[in-house]
Homo-oligomer: A and B are copies of this chain.
Amino acid sequence: MIKQLLIGIVCSAAVLTFGILIGHFGINKSSNSAPSWVKDVTKDVDESFIEKFLSEVDNIQIQENLRELTKVPHMATTAGDEQTVQFMLKRWQDPETGLDQAWREEYMVYLSFPDPNNPNKVTVVSPSETVLYAAREKEKSYTPDQDDPEVVQPYAAYSPAGHPKGKLVYANQGKPSDYHLLNTTVDLRGTIAITRYGGAGRADKAINGAPYGVIGVLVYTDPLDINDGVMSDLNETYPHSWYLPPSGVERGSFNTHYGDLLTPYLAAKDETYRIPVKDITGIPPIPIQPIGFEDAYKLICELGGEAAPALWQGSFNCIYNFGGPGFKLTSAFNNSDVKLDIFNHEKLKNSSNVMGVIRGSVEPDRYVIYGNHRDSWVHGAIDPSSGTSVMLELTRVLGKMVKQGKWRPRRSIIFGSWGAEEFGLIGSAEYTEQYFTKLSERTVAYINVDIAVFANATLRASGMPSLQNVIFKASKQVDAPGLDSTSVYDNWIQYANRTSPTHGLIPKVGYLSGAGSDYAAFVHYLGITSMDISYTYDKSKTSARIYPAYHTAYDTFDYASKFIDPGFISHQAIARTAGNVLIRLADSLVLPLNCSDYAETLEDYLNTAVTLYEQQLQNRHISMEPIKRAVASFRNAATHLDQVIRSSDLANETPLKVRRINDQLMLLDRAFLDPLAFPEKYAFRHVIWASSSARKPTFPGLADAYAKAESLVESSAWDKVHYHLSVLSQAIEGAAHTLEDVI
């Protein structure tokens, strides 16, 4: 009986267990089983995937990308450009390593070219019209690259054609103050001014001179500004080093706006309305032409007149005089004119962006955009092909994972290979005009990697403060090129740092206030959180304004692989760092954007503004209390949102809560847009990051309005300061409102 009882108990227990097992595993809780999507929507970034990504980024692949991209010159809309279009499409449509989709988008844009049949000329002409000297029409060859017939003659894009002839004067950097000073000693009417690069925008060197009667402008790169004084190609400059040979000439767009000049705020499609050419603003009103320092030396050292001030002197072994106007009595050029024969002409040309996409799995309607321009002035090994080679390596590694089914990002990733950047950021600007609303609504961030490697000393990063933290995180996980057991971050902090009230000593991230590359339309027109990174030089070792071969015929694969990044390990470090940021932006459950770091910048700006302006504004009965309150509101709201993020168990809450927080973070920069804040600046709408002529580390529109009011007598100029303060206060309060509890 006991045995039977025991058997009964054991059997019952077994049956009960069996029942429990059936009940638990065998029957679906129809009303309460988790839908299959629950796991997907709560997934966070996978650190092991990032490790795998980092290990797969290959320096030799980048090197080979660069070799392919630099085979021929690929100036915008030329046959060489089309070759790179095809190459990008081939790579992005590759069945093994390509993206989900890739295609081209075309715009009909207004470009400016020299005439190959009538090269631009710069000559010294005697009173009897004898040509005493002629500047080089092309750069000297050191490798077959420079002999390629497709190397475009050095010219100033958007300089008008014309044949000005006049006495030469030296106008330093062509700044307003330079012409002002020069004009006090020389009558500038009818003169040709020679200027050096730096200090003022390219077009400004002509725009600033024309009101004084200057009729033509030359521009050159002084060895002081680019070569640390070095000048001889016998043993000093390229091909012996990275320095610019004497005949090297920086080309460029002489245009102060960005985007297609004929279709402001409209995508340049075939039938789009185009403004009359005469209504274009921001381009040189008089002919301008760039020359090499070899030629500049011949002209400047012969100039008569008084000696120019010490700050105007360059590296030439002569005194830089103002010009008599014209050459000195003792010169063979005495009494001669300088003549420009400029045959530039403008054309509507078809420029392509190449676009590629990896579809997001969970939030396909959220975009992380990564881009760089594709067009160069000549072979463009560094500018822009270093960045394009990096982008192609990223898409190869990520594309392979996608094609193999091993990975798909949470959010969509869009890659853009922009056209016609060199003429004024045209491809990216037209893209943002065409897709304005869609991009505004859905873009999490834009990553720009244009010149990936200027030099191999340290990382350089610029961007919105909210991105600082993810850049730090990514750069800590990447080895610094050529250094054992030092991270990119640890190396960087030694070259550029600052003390943050919150974080202590950290690397210094710059701001994207200008329009130096394709981030401009994303930052200034769309208000999208953006960043730009590269590897760059040690400023203690060179005073070069930029890498010396910039925009010349020497920016070739040979130059890049010998002097900029032998072994392509700095390229690899940039690919790893940028790719790491990209993956974190695309895959993180909560976006890695930190709004408190934005608050720190606003406080910093505010403190500077109070120090610089408050006393004088009080005298004018303009209160800074509203902007102080606005910045304080922003700080409080940011602290609160951080607290919500920290204290929530977001992986276990409704995905709509995560989405809500992510929308707050994503849209933060949009709150700073005001299309009326800068009526005189084309397509600048972000009140925190606009370009500023006052160059103060504070709110740009306030600084400019204040500087203007100080320089004018009309008291209405102070109204504009007050107005801009109200614009700022409202924008910052508005941004704070978006960070508060959503209702």
Flag the segment in A59-67, A191-199, A362-370, A550-558 that touches B.
A362-370
Chain B residues with Cβ below 8 Å from A25 are 23
Chain B residues with Cβ below 8 Å from A271 are 623, 625-626, 726
With contact pairs A24-B23, A675-B675 given, residues A441 and B652 touching in the complex (Cβ less than 8 Å): no
Chain B residues with Cβ below 8 Å from A41 are 654-656
Contact B654 A656 (CB under 8 A): no
Contact B723 A273 (CB under 8 A): yes
Q: Which of B37, B719, B738 contacts A441 (CB 8 A)?
A: B738
Flag the segment in A309-317, A429-437, A463-471 that touches B.
A429-437
Query: Is residue A48 contacting chain B, with contact meaning CB distance below 8 A?
Result: no
Contact A365 B654 (CB under 8 A): no
Q: Which of B24, B272, B664, B675 contacts A676 (CB 8 A)?
A: B675
A87-B726 Cα distance, complex, nearest whole Å? 33
A296-B656 Cα distance, complex, nearest whole Å? 63
A363-B40 Cα distance, complex, nearest whole Å? 20
Query: Is residue A420 contacting chain B, with contact meaning CB distance below 8 A?
Result: no
Interface residues of A in 261-291 (CB under 8 A from B): 263, 265-267, 269, 271-273, 276
Chain B residues with Cβ below 8 Å from A681 are none
- CB-based nearest B residue for A724: B273
Query: Is residue A501 contacting chain B, with contact meaning CB distance below 8 A?
Result: no
Chain B residues with Cβ below 8 Å from A267 are 730
Query: Is residue A653 contacting chain B, with contact meaning CB distance below 8 A?
Result: yes
A435-B412 Cα distance, complex, nearest whole Å? 30
- CB-based nearest B residue for A359: B743
- Interface 1/0 per residue, A399-439 and B, CB below 8 Å: 00000000000001010000000000000000001111110
Q: Which of B33, B37, B438, B654 contacts A29 (CB 8 A)?
A: B33
With contact pairs A271-B623, A365-B660, A734-B438 given, residues A19 and B15 touching in the complex (Cβ less than 8 Å): yes
Contact A20 B15 (CB under 8 A): no
Contact B734 A272 (CB under 8 A): no
A residues lining the B interface (CB < 8 Å): 8, 11-12, 15-25, 27, 29, 32-35, 37-38, 40-41, 263, 265-267, 269, 271-273, 276, 357, 359-360, 362-365, 367, 412, 414, 433-438, 441-442, 623, 625-626, 652-656, 659-660, 663-664, 667, 670-671, 675-676, 719, 722-723, 725-727, 729-730, 733-735, 737-738, 742-743
A-B contact pairs, 29 of them (CB 8 A): A15-B19, A18-B19, A19-B22, A20-B27, A23-B24, A24-B27, A29-B29, A33-B33, A263-B726, A265-B676, A266-B730, A271-B623, A271-B625, A271-B626, A272-B626, A362-B656, A364-B743, A365-B660, A367-B743, A435-B737, A436-B734, A437-B667, A437-B734, A438-B734, A438-B738, A441-B663, A441-B670, A442-B742, A656-B659
